[in-house]
Amino acid sequence: MLMETATPPTAGLLASLGVWFWIDLTEAGHVAFVLLAHPPARRESESPESIEGEMRGLAAALSLADPSARLPDIGPRLVVHGRSALLSLDGCQAALHVPVSAEWSGFVSAGAPVAVAVGLDPMQPRMPFSAVRPYVSEGAQRGRLFLGIAPTLPRRAEATRSPRHPMRATTSVRPCRRTEASAPSATQGT
């Protein structure tokens, strides 16, 4: 179902994404989350179907799966440096740059797992967290959300283990270096 209508995400779609990040307590313990969602169509050339195709392409480029399936390990594609995170995409010469909080960055840098989610339904980029929880829950129930787990990074510092409210971030597209055409690079973009 993911690949049937997937088209590669454009730089315009990547730049328009809303990004939310937070730390939550799950059955597996505390997990850092990143949600990527798109705004409603804004241009004449955009349609809900074309945007959904690109979002499915984004989910495929991150190796995400339907939440009813076992969540895949999406590989070492998240690099955190200070208050920035870079998320590399398979088959794409760009990485998503996401400003993050010091708490989220410290938690992830200390070795916490990161759940990456891509939503297919539109959501305004500046929506408060009170809208994010229902979006994630309903999207997962309706098969409109794709998820994966980024591997735990080497432990560098002790993490704060308390859940917090998420913070919103904007994205920008940054070029990334690739070590192989099919594998995301662990190096930061320039």
pLDDT digits (tens, 9 = 90+) for 10-65: 888 888 999 999 999 988 899 999 999 999 988 888 899 999 999 999 999 999 99
Q: What is the pLDDT, as a whole number, of residue 70?
A: 85
How far is residue 123 CA from its own chain's centroid? Answer: 14
Number of Cβ within 10 Å of residue 82's Cβ equals 11
Cβ atoms 22, 164 nearer than 8 A:
yes
Query: How far apart are alpha carbons 34 and 86 in whole angstroms?
Result: 12
In sequence order, the 6+-apart residues with CB closer than 8 A to the CB of 98 are 19, 21, 34, 84, 85, 86, 87, 169, 171
Among residues 169, 105, 127, the alpha carbon closest in space to that of 40 is found at: 127
Tens-place pLDDT, residues 117-167: 999 999 998 899 899 999 999 999 999 999 999 975 443 333 322 233 333
- List residues bridging with 173 in a β-sheet: 96
| Structural tokens at position 106 | 């410290």
